Amino acid sequence: MIHKSRVAIGAVVLTATVLLAGCTSTSVSQTGSVSKAVEPLVLYAAEAYDANMGKAFTAKTGIPVKVVDDSTGPLLTKVAAEKNNPQWSLLWVDGDTAFASLDQQGELLKYQPTAAYNTVGKAILPTDNSYFPTGTTVMAALIYNSAKVTSVPTTYQDLTTAAYRGQVGMNDPSQSGPTYPFIAGIMNQLGGQAAGVADGEAYFSQLKSNGLKVYPTNGDTLHALETGQINYGLIQSSAATGETINVKPTSKYAPKVVYLPKSTLLPSVLGIDKAIDKTQQAEAEKFVDFALSPAGQKVMQAADTAGDSLYWPVVNGVTALSQLPTFPSAYQRIDPTYWGPLQAKVVTWFDTSIK
Amino acid sequence: MTIIERKKVDVGTGVEPVAGAVSAPSGHRVRVRGARKRYGAVEALAGIDLDIEVGKFMVLLGPSGSGKTTLLRGIAGIERFDAGTVHFGDNPISGGQKHAPAERRDLSMVFQDYALWPHLTVEQNVGYALRRRRLDSHTRRKLVNETLERVGLDAKLESYPGELSGGQQQRVALARALVARPALLLFDEPLSNLDADLRERLRVEIATLTRESGATALYITHDQSEAFALADEIGVLRAGLLEQRGTPEDIFRSPATQFVARFTGIAGSFVGRAVGDRDGYFRVRVGDHELSCRAAAGVTPGSLVDLLIRPTASSLGERLGDQPAQIPGTVVDIAFRGRGYEHVIESAYGQLTSVFDTHPWARGSACAIRIDPDGCIAYPQP
Amino acid sequence: MPTTDDVLGTAAPLDLSQLAPLPPVARSSWFGRTRRIGGRFNPITVFWLLIVAILILPIALFLAVAFSPRLLDQGTQWFTLSAFAGAVNSDLLLGMLHSLIIGITTAVISAAIGFALAWVVLRTNAPGRRICTGVVFALLLTPSYLIALGWERLVEPNGVLEVLGYDATWARDVIYGPVGIVVVLTVKGLPFAYLAISNAMRGLGHEFEDAVRVHGGGPIASLRIVLALLAPAVWSALAIVFAESVSDFGVASTLANDAHFPVATYSLYNAVQAFPVNFPVASAVSWVLLVLVILALLAQNRALRGRSYRVLGGRSRQVIRVQLSRGAKIASTVALLVLLVISLGVPTFGAISASLIDGLGSLAGTHQWSLANYQRVIVSPDLSQPLLYSAELAAITATVTLVLAVVCARLLANKGGSVGGRVLDLVLLAAVALPGIVFAAGYIFAYNLPLTNALGIHLYGTTTLLVLAYLATALPSTSRVLVGTMSQIQESMSHASRVHGSGPIRSWLTIVLPVTARPLLSAWLLTYTATLLELPVSQLLAPPGEMPISVGITTALSKYDYGGGTAMEVLAILSALAVVGVGYLLFKLIAPVGWRRIGRSA
């Protein structure tokens, strides 16, 4: 008995020592920030350019930015778990459904950015200014292997015809973030908010009976295209453009991209946490303006030229990277307040009926 | 090879004895008062008082579950009594809120399972116990060597415990216990894992080396022959209580209770009715016979008694007519014991084992059991 | 027998002048280092406070959300059962049944293979046995998605098998289903089973097997005795693999998902990873996992009731290796090879095909084999910074975890002992059974409470909290891996040290530490490697501005940089394997000869 407790003493002492050492090294920066005029911003972000943007913003304004860079899923989980005591100042991820939901729960700060949005940007910008698109991609780009096939579809309906039997692949909405907006977009296009999901479901069922293949994410669908499992893939525009940049065409594999009407907008979106104090609010607003400014957009476009930088600008005075095609003329924005709440239901349906 | 011969050699090799160091005992006087210990629903110690005088060899004898191990571990400091005090000399060791840890008690211990440390050599195992003496390495090595020589293992210094036989391992453990000359030596059934031949030899070594060291010794066992052979004093434990304590002779001749008598060895027992005193002995009627015996406390004339007979108190004779002091019986079995024969005898009142005679009696033959009244004790029936 | 006088008369006693008296302190102050009961500082209390803080509180808060979403702002109701209704409505019941079956199957297979592997490695002269420890650690490091990826590359349409001209349809049907799930989970569970069992087997002398053989038992009977003697370790292995399997998240979201084979964690995955996040439902599913684990624990307790097997001690003999016949050698080598290929070869292939091929994991076309990904990643600060950060945290975590795990293992090893031991057992297994993401969310709940902040505890968002969470994640499995060892130590060995004059700390350092050095080293390395690539806790608890390597890898993968991500992963795994190698090498070079003798075979 004695022995056991002595071991415990040792354990506790050692633990305490190590923890104290850890505390002193990390907590200084934590507590030191409370009363200063400049407070660091905490940016939860899932964009390839987020770290560079943080640095550029600090360089310009002197306001430090701590970037928590991760995938969208874990970031949203973190935001949800922190609900009773949010720790983020800014959230920057793809898609506006999460923001619409956060706005409904009253978690977002409303702000009128100084930048002038272009036509596409105005289509995405919410009326209450609760979140801010910083650029947009679309779902879906149709990427196909022009070395193996010549026929190119012009509508989504074409993909259900015999010419494309067994050759089309797409991502799994339960694992690929951009894929639900695509499915919702089709449903929106076919049935709309008035008719609901039925027509869209019928369309995907037709695709399935025409031999649709479902892969987990953009990368897996591309992999299937490269290995010849499919010849047409429905993926996010940035991933598709990136592939055409990365790959030197050969006699076996030469990827090309087309956009079928309509393309669903999938913006990258910034939002400000309502719970932060006034000083931070002002700083966060500066960050939003910086992201929408030409200087900020330049940083975003330089950070990941074969990936996330391949977006179409949503503000005036900024041009897309030259590798991007012109913006698809037939596009639509889907209402996140309508389609957001349907996500779980639609994904489950897709899971059981299509996959 | 005996220890004593080896030590004569030692003298020749120049280790000078220090006069007086050995003859003046340096052991603890151990005093335990009211020791209690409970494990869940089981009461291991029910309030025990125990005194061991300086330099004495005390053996605690008891069956498993009697609390002897708990008492030993409490004195060692490995466990803590729920209540009660322990003093070494005038120093309080354990009691109330206070509890000196084992390493501060200046004692050592030989364990039933040897408890040698498998990662240390024999030399390191023994030397470990010297650390508290803060010796220079030369002296330490010398003491270790000498002590290992005493137990006949000086050739095994570099061996690991795993390479030794059971008997050798327990000798190393004994050397380890002795080397630092502690004031109290504790033995936790050290012989019970050894075979009979080794057991006898190691017992002798324990007896001699312990007494030579001058330490007080406490030895627990369930084997009465070990207890009688080793002890200056024996305490018999039963269900957490000290049933009787005394010299081996006291315990053997005058067991205070039926339990003590039975646990220290009997040939058998009869049931009889107490008659009364006659000629300095007590008379008990067993069937048609009347036997002389000694009576334990609480035996009153006319009451039913258990008559317990020591193996040494019975002998065999021819059945000659009707003699009331002799019980007629039949030889059931016989065992040759070197100096004579031990017989198992069936009588009308029960079976006796270990009935001695210098001559063998054939199985099945009729005989008469003679009983020495000094080795025959009547107890009131429980 | 000579009398006392005879002995004294003829004896040449020890030279007592050489014996210094005990230091004065020892003689005069008997209570110099006495422990006071009920004093100010009770270490056991502190230990339990720590357990409550790092394990019980976060788990309890997370579980409370199922009943009371309002408590943590996850809903409007203070008390409701609707989360359970929501959970049960889905495929949960079927998923639970599947999880149970898969958990049991995986546990039994892992324990059986782990036992066989331990026996071959420790008890036979089978060729190739020396590389097994390395293999086990490599397995431990390999994330389940990489194993799944490897299998997919192999059996997918136009995958390796088909490129090589084999029809992989049948293999695809088998792998994309319960069999594939069991294979992946078994591979993940094997290291735990092997470490738990081999640590115990090391301490087991050969005499027990000899006893069987001389009493007429054959090799099978002898194996049964060894099995019975190692029962605590075997049950530990079963319990931990079961808990790890039912709580596995990676397989639930990949193979099980693709195969339309619902498991209990899949509902949880949907509740936590899909937006909007629904913690109450996740919490309800966690209750279900907890029930499964309690069932496993009850089975273990029932099987081990009141038995203990203390065999690691001074009396244990050296082990004699079984000299295998030529046929047996061939058989064992083939078995080891098959194991190696299934467990490590396939995922290695997956990782290498992804990281060595420039661009994506394509097998045709322009993509060339190249080291470009590695070149890119090695020079990039995106790798070195996170890797160093994670390595530092993993080392701290492993060290502290080891200390706490020893205490836990000791408490757990006292079978049928204290109530505390049983509570700890349950808490530790519950922690294994709850997926990391649940655990991490519980940490946010517990350490981001306005109340906690009001109390002046600002742990959330610090590296300290991340380490505490790592600690809590690693402690359960590390403790369980050590239980086998700790339950084998003969108590008398440390008692002997105490009565021969060593204080508690010195006795621990000189006796218990050397005897358990090798298992402790294994446990440290196990914790280090597991922590280095830990994902869910890192994702939710990494402080702003710091990036653990696992987050770096996932981020790279999520940005379609498969080559770079997998290259980082391979490099991280190689770095961990290097640490393992250096660890054992140092042990071999530095540890005293006696330390290395424990469990060594003749």
Chain C, window 481-510: residues with a beta carbon less than 8 angstroms from a chain B beta carbon: 490, 492-493, 495-504, 507, 510
Residues B133, C510: C-beta atoms closer than 8 Å: no
Listed by start position, the domains of chain C span 49-69+81-597
Residues from chain A contacting residue B78 (CB–CB below 8 Å): 2
- Paired with B94 in beta bridges are B86, B99
Nearest chain B residue (CA) to C26: B104
In degrees rounded to 5, what are phi and psi of residue C93?
-65, -45
DSSP 8-state code for residue C17:
G
In CATH terms, is domain B3-257 a member of 3.40.50.300?
yes
Q: Please give the C-alpha separations between residue C298 and each of A28, A326, C103, C302, C500, in angstroms, as whole numbers.
A: 46, 65, 15, 6, 40
Determine the residue among A47, A84, A348, A349 to mutate to test chain C binding: the one whose Cβ has the most chain C Cβ atoms within 10 Å.
A84
3-state helix, strand, coil in chain C (%, to 5): 75, 0, 25
Residues A84, C504: C-beta atoms closer than 8 Å: no
Least confident window among A228-237, B164-173, C436-445: C436-445
Q: Is the pLDDT of residue B41 over 80?
A: yes
Nearest chain C residue (CA) to B79: C495
Provide, rounded to the nearest whole percent, the portion of chain B with pLDDT above 90. 46
Provide, rounded to the nearest whole percent, the portion of chain A with pLDDT above 70. 90
Name the band, by pLDDT with cuts 50, 70 and 90, for residue C415: low
Q: Is the pLDDT of residue B170 over 60?
A: yes
Nearest chain B residue (CA) to C12: B17
Residue range C535-554, pLDDT digits in tens:
778 888 888 878 888 888 87
In this predicted structure, what is the pLDDT of residue C533?
Answer: 83
Mean per-residue pLDDT, B147-158 = 89
Provide, rounded to the nearest whole percent, the portion of chain A with pLDDT above 90. 55
Domain C49-69+81-597 is classified in which CATH homologous superfamily? Answer: MetI-like (1.10.3720.10)
Residues C274, A14: C-beta atoms closer than 8 Å: no
Output the CA torsion C416→C420→C422→C424 (10° steps).
-140
Measure CB to CB from residue A27 to each of C35, C158, C458 and give the nearest one: C458
Residues C366, A247: C-beta atoms closer than 8 Å: yes
Average pLDDT, chain A: 86
A76 contacts A92 by C-beta, under 8 angstroms:
no
pTM to 2 decimals? 0.74
The C-alpha of B105 sits at a distance from chain C's nearest C-alpha, in angstroms, of 8
Interface of B with A (CB under 8 A): 77-80, 99, 101-102
Mean per-residue pLDDT, C586-596 = 83
Rounded Cα distance between C50 and A265, Å, is 50
Name the band, by pLDDT with cuts 50, 70 and 90, for residue A222: confident
Structure tokens at C218: 């054959």
Name the band, by pLDDT with cuts 50, 70 and 90, for residue C471: very high
CATH numeric code, A41-136+266-303: 3.40.190.10
In this predicted structure, what is the pLDDT of residue A227?
Answer: 78
Listed by start position, the domains of chain A span 41-136+266-303, 138-264+331-353
DSSP letters along C103-166, please?
Answer: HHHHHHHHHHHHHHHHHHHHHB--TTGGGHHHHHHHHHHS-HHHHHHHHHHHHSTTSHHHHTT-
Residues C500, B16: C-beta atoms closer than 8 Å: no
Rounded Cα distance between A207 and A197, Å, is 15
Residues C502, B128: C-beta atoms closer than 8 Å: yes
ipTM: 0.73
Domain B266-380 belongs to what topology?
Answer: OB fold (Dihydrolipoamide Acetyltransferase, E2P) (2.40.50)
Closest by CA position to A227, among listed C84, C513, C357, B333: C357
Determine the residue among B42, B79, B110, B119 to mutate to test chain C binding: the one whose Cβ has the most chain C Cβ atoms within 10 Å.
B119
C147 contacts C369 by C-beta, under 8 angstroms:
no
In degrees rounded to 5, what are phi and psi of residue B308?
-100, 130
Nearest chain A residue (CA) to B79: A1
Residues from chain C contacting residue B212 (CB–CB below 8 Å): 4, 7-8, 11, 13
Of 1.10.150.650, 3.40.190.10, 3.40.50.510, 2.30.42.10, the CATH number of A138-264+331-353 is 3.40.190.10
Structure tokens at C514: 């050397």
Rounded Cα distance between C168 and C171, Å, is 5
Residue range A267-289, pLDDT digits in tens:
999 999 999 999 999 999 999 99
Identify the H or E element spanning B352: strand B350-357
Partners of chain C (3+ Cβ pairs below 8 A) = A, B
Measure CB to CB from residue C504 to each of A6, A19, A216 and give the nearest one: A6
Residues B101, A1: C-beta atoms closer than 8 Å: no
The C-alpha of A98 sits at a distance from chain C's nearest C-alpha, in angstroms, of 7
What string of H, E and C letters represents the secondary structure of C443-469?
HHHHHCCHHHHHCCCCCCCCHHHHHHH
By the CB < 8 Å criterion, does A9 face chain B?
no
Residues B119, C597: C-beta atoms closer than 8 Å: yes
Identify the H or E element spanning B139: helix B137-150
Mean per-residue pLDDT, B35-63 = 91
Rounded Cα distance between C135 and C120, Å, is 14
Measure CB to CB from residue A23 to each of C275, C445, C464 and give the nearest one: C464
Provide, rounded to the nearest whole percent, the portion of chain C with pLDDT above 70. 73
**Higher-scoring residue by pLDDT: B121, C173:** B121
The C-alpha of C487 sits at a distance from chain A's nearest C-alpha, in angstroms, of 13
In this predicted structure, what is the pLDDT of residue B52?
Answer: 94
Q: Which is it for the CA torsion A242, A248, A252, A254, positive or negative?
A: positive
Start-end of H helices in B16-121: 68-76
The C-alpha of B133 sits at a distance from chain C's nearest C-alpha, in angstroms, of 6
In this predicted structure, what is the pLDDT of residue B6?
Answer: 27
Strand order in the sheet with B184-188: B107-110, B184-188, B216-221, B57-61, B233-238, B241-246
Residues B115, C18: C-beta atoms closer than 8 Å: no
By the CB < 8 Å criterion, does A1 face chain B?
yes
Least confident window among A25-34, B183-192, C207-216: A25-34
Structure tokens at A117: 């949005």
Rounded Cα distance between C18 and C523, Å, is 44
Residues B18, C500: C-beta atoms closer than 8 Å: no
Range(s) within chain B of domains with CATH label 3.40.50.300: 3-257
**Higher-scoring residue by pLDDT: B220, B195:** B220
DSSP 8-state code for residue C565:
H
In this predicted structure, what is the pLDDT of residue C205?
Answer: 62
In degrees rounded to 5, what are phi and psi of residue B21?
-65, -35
Name the band, by pLDDT with cuts 50, 70 and 90, for residue C24: very low
Mean per-residue pLDDT, B295-323 = 86
In this predicted structure, what is the pLDDT of residue A84?
Answer: 79
In this predicted structure, what is the pLDDT of residue C6?
Answer: 36
In this predicted structure, what is the pLDDT of residue C417?
Answer: 58
Average pLDDT, chain C: 75
CA C371 to chain CA centroid, nearest Å: 33
**Higher-scoring residue by pLDDT: A83, A233:** A233
Residue range B199-243, pLDDT digits in tens:
888 899 999 999 988 899 999 999 999 999 999 999 999 999 999
Residue range C289-343, pLDDT digits in tens:
888 877 777 777 676 664 555 444 444 445 667 777 888 888 888 888 888 888 8
**Higher-scoring residue by pLDDT: C179, C29:** C179
Mean per-residue pLDDT, C349-362 = 57
Residue B359: CB atoms within 10 A of its CB come to 7
